């Protein structure tokens, strides 16, 4: 077990780390297109994900003004609908909010509650403010504070998004721990001076041999034990 000391606040990525984003989007697509088989649903999910990744990259490169996740998800849902021949506006509108109904991982709610007894716990997400609020409520995630990259008009791994968490925590960045299932996210946090902990999830971005994070954990229970350990 890795023991991490001198931490004053714990910051969690949300999408993929605490909720199953691909699984939730896949369920939303199935709901909208009940006759689609698994292969078709997976193809539509890939179409959705590629649109989100492309648009976030365009925003980061200054090729598009900032648009929040609700806007980009609505665009992705319309692409899926157009590709699949879905024309019911009510069904398309509901599909556009599929990213706000993502299921939590089994240990997410209990892990947050356990850590929140000892530390200020914050969420830091690329989800827009409204999407993050509704997603947290749907998944039963309880925070001391939830922060959206929308406040910085940017998406992780932009430095200004991590600075939101550091400023809110009110302590030096080396005393703020960023927890994520995505190595790219943790690299961005490291570049801002934050401490880092990787938590394994089936849909995450695993570290490489070159990554030197402060800890690597199989789940939130292991993480909580490490953060509350005493010599």
- Looking at domain 21-100, its CATH class is mainly alpha
Predicted pLDDT of residue 75: 98
The CATH 3.40.50.1000 domain(s) of the chain lie at 9-20+103-228
Predicted pLDDT of residue 231: 35
Residue 152 C-alpha from the chain's centroid: 16
The CATH 1.10.150 domain(s) of the chain lie at 21-100
pLDDT (tens digit, 0 to 9) for every residue of the chain, 231 residues total?
A: 566 889 999 999 999 999 999 999 999 999 999 999 999 999 999 999 999 999 999 999 999 999 999 999 999 999 999 999 999 999 999 999 999 999 999 999 999 999 999 999 999 999 999 999 999 999 999 999 999 999 999 999 999 999 999 999 999 999 999 999 999 999 999 999 999 999 999 998 999 999 999 999 999 999 999 998 743
Residue 67 and residue 82: Cα distance in Å, rounded?
21
Predicted pLDDT of residue 105: 98
Residue 5 and residue 106: Cα distance in Å, rounded?
26
Quick check: helix, strand or coil at residue 172?
A: coil
Query: By CB neighbour count within 10 A (0-12 exposed, 13-18 middle, 19+ buried), where does 62 fall?
Result: exposed
Q: Where are the alpha helices (DSSP H) in the chain?
A: 21-32, 38-60, 69-84, 89-96, 108-116, 129-139, 159-169, 183-191, 220-228
Assigned CATH for 9-20+103-228? 3.40.50.1000
- State the residue for tokens 């021949």: 85
DSSP string, 52-97: HHHHHHHHHTTSS----HHHHHHHHHHHHHHHHT---HHHHHHHHT
- Closest-CA residue to 76 (of 95, 101, 57): 95
> pTM to 2 decimals?
0.95
On the CB side of 122, CA atoms within 13 Å amount to: 24
Q: How many helices (H) and strands (E) does the chain have?
A: 9, 6
Predicted pLDDT of residue 4: 86
């Amino acid at each position: 077990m890795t023991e991490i000391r001198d931490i004053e606040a714990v910051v969690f990525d949300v999408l993929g780390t605490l909720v199953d984003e691909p699984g939730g989007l896949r369920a939303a697509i199935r709901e909208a297109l009940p006759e689609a088989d698994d292969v078709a649903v997976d193809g539509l999910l890939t179409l959705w994900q590629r649109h989100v990744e492309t648009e976030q990259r365009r925003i980061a490169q200054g090729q598009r003004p900032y648009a929040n996740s609700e806007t980009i998800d609505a665009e992705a849902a319309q692409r899926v609908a157009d590709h699949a021949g879905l024309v019911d506006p009510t069904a398309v509108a509901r599909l556009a909010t599929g990213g706000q109904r993502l299921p939590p991982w089994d240990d997410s709610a209990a892990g947050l509650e356990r850590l929140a007894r000892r530390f200020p716990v914050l969420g830091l997400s690329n989800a827009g403010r409204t999407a993050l609020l509704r997603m947290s409520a749907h998944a039963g995630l309880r925070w001391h504070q939830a922060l959206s990259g929308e406040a910085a008009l940017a998406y992780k791994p932009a430095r200004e998004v991590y600075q939101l968490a550091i400023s809110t925590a009110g302590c030096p960045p080396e005393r703020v721990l960023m927890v994520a299932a995505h190595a790219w996210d943790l690299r961005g946090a490291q570049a801002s001076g934050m401490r880092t902990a990787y938590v394994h999830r089936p849909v995450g971005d695993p570290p490489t041999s070159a990554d030197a994070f402060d800890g690597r954990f199989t789940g939130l229970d292991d993480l909580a034990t490490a953060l509350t350990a005493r010599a």
